[in-house]
Amino acid sequence: MNKSRTTRMTSSMTFRKPSLSDVRLIQALINRNASKQIMLPRSLHDVYEMLRDFIVCESSGQIVGVCALHITWEDLGEVRSLAVEDAFQKQGIGSALVKKCLAEARRLGIRRVFTLTYVPEFFHRLGFLEVDKATLPHKVWADCIKCHHFPDCNEVALLREL
């Protein structure tokens, strides 16, 4: 990575749990990224249902990044719906959001966190290791029916032990 082109987060970035008034903004950010076919789209219903799973990054009152920790089982969670506004890419926001989700997983007593991604290199840098998708519980695949790649999935499954 060319460090001269990489900028870091400024002190004006804040991380917080979202409120109901953030739902449409979260959905719009996720679906802008989904339109590039780099993640699954989310309906308003999905975002409302998952709202407590999310962490948002805000800059000057604008939501510029989102990520969710979804609890799958007593010792397993999923990092999902990671999206950062294009203008805020390469500033460490995505990494910070994932790290906050991992910290929350530790606080909850979750021992393993997985993700399904088209960008495995990003998660490798955060200590995730590739695993066979078949090792994940079948419930994980409930979202697959919504995917534009179904049934020919090309997402990579990664896992991090905490």
Mean pLDDT of 138-161: 69
pTM: 0.87
DSSP letter (8 states) at residue 142: G
Q: Which domain holds residue 115?
A: 3-161
Asked if residue 81 has pLDDT above 60, the reply is yes
Mean pLDDT score of the chain: 88
Tokens of 82: 């990671």
Q: Which residue has the higher pLDDT, 74 or 99?
A: 99
Answer yes or no: are the C-beta atoms of 149 and 34 closer than 8 Å. Answer: no
Q: What CATH number is attached to the domain comprising 130?
A: 3.40.630.30
Answer yes or no: are the C-beta atoms of 88 and 5 closer than 8 Å. Answer: no
Backbone phi and psi for residue 55, each to the nearest 5 degrees, phi listed first = -125, 140
Backbone phi and psi for residue 45, each to the nearest 5 degrees, phi listed first = -60, -45
Residue type (1 letter), 30: I
pLDDT of residue 144: 58
pLDDT of residue 140: 60
Residues 116 and 98: their CA atoms lie apart, in Å, by 13
Q: Tell me how many domains the chain contains.
A: 1
Q: Looking only at Cα atoms, what is the longest distance across the chain?
A: 43
Tokens of 44: 């308003």
What pLDDT, in 10s, does the model give residues 8-61? 555 589 999 999 999 999 999 999 999 998 888 999 999 999 999 999 999 999
Residue type (1 letter), 98: V
Range scoring the smallest mean pLDDT among 11-20, 29-38, 69-78, 135-144: 135-144
Answer yes or no: are the C-beta atoms of 55 and 15 closer than 8 Å. Answer: yes
pLDDT band (50, 70, 90) for residue 2: very low
Mean pLDDT of 97-108: 98
pLDDT band (50, 70, 90) for residue 75: very high
